[in-house]
Amino acid sequence: MIEVKVPTVGESITEVQINQWLKSEGDWVAQDEDLVELETEKASVQIPAPGSGYLRNIRKQEEEFAEVGELIAEIEPAEAPAGGPTEKQPQAPAPSQPQDQDGDEPSKTPVAANRSPPDSEAPPVPLQKVMPAAQRLLDELGLVASAVTATGPGGRLLKEDVLTHVRRSTQPAAPAPLTHPPAMGASLLTTGPSDRGEEVKPMSMIRRTIAARLVQAQQTAALLTTFNEVNMQPVMDLRNKYRDTFQQKHGVKLGFMSFFAKAAVEGLRRFPAVNAELRGNSLVYRDYYDIGIAIGGGKGLVVPVLRNVEKLGFAAIERSIAEYAQAASANQLQPSDLEGGTFTISNGGIYGSLLSTPIVNPPQSGILGLHSIQERPIAENGQVVIRPMMYLALTYDHRVIDGREAVTFLRTIKEVVEDPARLFLEV
């Protein structure tokens, strides 16, 4: 038997969580074919099969934890079956009707909702791969797979897809009585009517890491937040003027984040302490600017890092952010995408936040919080006018950054954004 063990997936990582098995027990798998998706404290990684054969003895189910080097499954060496690599080796006489049991291969449901007998002359209906956990949830909620959009690898329908569909549905189907046990690693406790259930699930690796780092920042740093507001009208006018031309030339939309990233570089140049790091009794000042962009991913908040932003143009920044956002939604960020970073920008405005105090991402010393744009009356040249305004927040480690530096840094962001020509003139 070929042993499938948890490999080393990153420095200092000793434990992982089984996100999902991409093959079911009994399936034939080719060597180097993606076999299982693991979630680490930094990102999700897909592990290839160490050999070809039939998958046997899965020891860790979805949402369970395993240590690096631990045996999680075995592969029985075998050649590809005559019926093709996707054929499953029979274990028992096939039942007359397909059944959904724990450990069975993903059920295959026609995408079309019409379940009438197929016409011999009609083309075959494409099949949709439904993972066991998703199928159980579909059965409990009385839903059909064809109504849910699949986002998993290879078009697989995941449990998360069903939950997302239910949240987005304005009239979700009434839950049917439980006919299957809850997914491995979770328990469903009913304390009354069917609409008053409680689901207990272990925290994901990423969520555990987020919680630990936030508590670490609060306990070890002297955090303080300063605020300002910025008139977004000049940037909005510039963006509206060149938006179509920019997208036609570069193939990506021109957003606000690139303006703030470049403005942050200008502020970090003027005030190096905001870009510094405290190591023991020493301060480390950097002459490069790796800016983390906080993104809400499929498993929680992640902060991929844009390297050397001072050397990037607007198009490169926007393209990198779009690629990171897509990878985060698909849980495909690599640990290297999240490592490092000298400063962070978090945009809570996309969720409607009016004002907040972001928490520094250690060992960094500062984080810039952006918020929603709202039209408000302000005084301009002795007149009261309506302008699209945004509150800015800078949380900083007071051990590294003095109040004067923090306030002036934030004012630099305001000045540059309200007069974006400064970005090109370097003034």
Which residue ranges make up each domain of the chain?
Answer: 2-86+103-113+124-200, 207-425
Collect all residues with Cβ–Cβ distance below 8 Å to 245 and sequence separation of at least 6. none
Q: Does the pLDDT of residue 165 top 90, yes or no?
A: no
Q: Phi/psi class of residue 222: alpha, beta or left (left: φ > 0; alpha: ψ in -120 to 50)?
A: beta
Residue/partner pairs of 186-193 with CB below 8 Å, 24 or more apart: 186/63
Pick 223 or 122 by higher pLDDT.
223
* 207-425 matches 2-86+103-113+124-200 in CATH topology: no
Nearest to 344 by CA among 301, 290, 389, 300: 290
pLDDT for 52 beyond 50: yes
pLDDT at position 427: 57
The pLDDT tens digits of the residues spanning 325-349 come to 888 887 777 778 888 899 999 999 9
What is the reported pTM? Answer: 0.63
Which one, of 373, 351, 360, 367, lies nearest residue 256 by Cα?
Answer: 373
- Out of 32, 237, 244, 398, which one is annotated catalytic? 398
287 is catalytic: no
The CATH number of 207-425, from 3.40.50.1370, 2.40.240.20, 3.10.580.10, 3.30.559.10, is 3.30.559.10
More confident residue, 43 or 229: 229
pLDDT in tens, 287-313: 999 999 998 766 667 899 999 999 999
Residues 6 or more apart whose CB falls under 8 angstroms from that of 254 comprise: 239, 242, 243, 246, 247, 314, 318
pLDDT higher than threshold 60 for residue 188: no
Alpha-carbon distance of 293 to 304, in angstroms, equals: 6
Given the residues 32, 237, 244, 402, the one annotated as active site: 402
Give residue-wise pLDDT tens across range 84-101.
555 555 554 444 444 443
d(CA 329, CA 149): 14
Query: According to the model, what pLDDT value does residue 150 have?
Result: 82
Which ranges of 271-393 does DSSP label H, i.e. alpha helix? 314-329, 335-338
**Who has greater pLDDT, 188 or 13?**
13
Architecture of 2-86+103-113+124-200 per CATH? Beta Barrel (2.40)
Is pLDDT larger for residue 264 or for residue 157?
264
Asked if residue 38 lies in contact with residue 10, where contact means CB atoms within 8 angstroms, the answer is no
What one-character DSSP code corresponds to residue 16? Answer: E
The better pLDDT of the pair 173, 52 is held by: 52
Q: Which residue has the higher pLDDT, 259 or 204?
A: 259
Q: Is 250 a catalytic residue?
A: no
Residue 287 is encoded by which pair of tokens? 């002459």
Beta strand 343-347 with 366-380 is: parallel
Which residues lie below 8 Å from residue 204, measured CB to CB, with a gap of 6+?
17, 39, 299, 300
pLDDT at 172 over 50: no
